[in-house]
Amino acid sequence: MMDLLKANGSSKLAQLAVAGAAGSLLSTLLFTFLSRPERMFQLAEQWGPWATLVFFGLYIFDRRVAQGVGLMRESAVATARVADGQQRLADAVQSLAQQNLVRQKDTEMVLDALAENSRATLSELHRLAGEVEQLKERIQIP
């Protein structure tokens, strides 16, 4: 049936619907057999060799579900590890950003102090230049 769906160009949704219906049927049979085992023997008497195929299908279905659950569990653990790693990375980036901010503030303070010192030095140089001019005029140096 899946080949027919593929040949007709059906969507993946149709394929999933068929697989879901088959899974639902198998899980219903499995639940029925587990809750009332005598039904398994009645089915074996009525269906004959086909019952063996159904029982084998249920067994395979049960194994595949167990594998799927195991894979989902492993995937969840791996996803959690990745999330932890990304959280550690985000924390490290945040720490670096904070350190850079502190350094930037320190640099701004140093630059502000240097600028103030430069202004004071320039002002003092202008004052001294004025005094030198006054001294030159007193002693009359051309």
Question: 72-128: per-residue pLDDT in tens?
Answer: 889 889 999 999 999 999 999 999 999 999 999 999 999 999 999 999 999 999 999
- CB of 23 within 8 A of CB of 61? yes
Three-class SS state of 36: coil
Give residue 106's identity as a one-letter amino acid code.
Answer: D
Task: Write down the domain spans for the chain.
Answer: 36-102
Q: Can you tell me the mean pLDDT for 26-51?
A: 75
pLDDT of residue 85: 94
Check residue 22 and report its DSSP letter: H
- Determine the Cα–Cα distance for residues 30 and 34; give it in Å rounded to an integer: 6
Instruction: Give me the residue label for tokens 């904070």.
Output: 98
Check residue 41 and report its DSSP letter: H
pLDDT of residue 12: 66
- Determine the Cα–Cα distance for residues 33 and 54; give it in Å rounded to an integer: 11
Q: Which of 28, 16, 15 is nearest to 61 (CA)?
A: 28
User: Which of 129-137's residues contact partners 24+ apart within 8 Å by CB, and which partners?
Assistant: none
Q: Is the pTM of this model over 0.75?
A: no
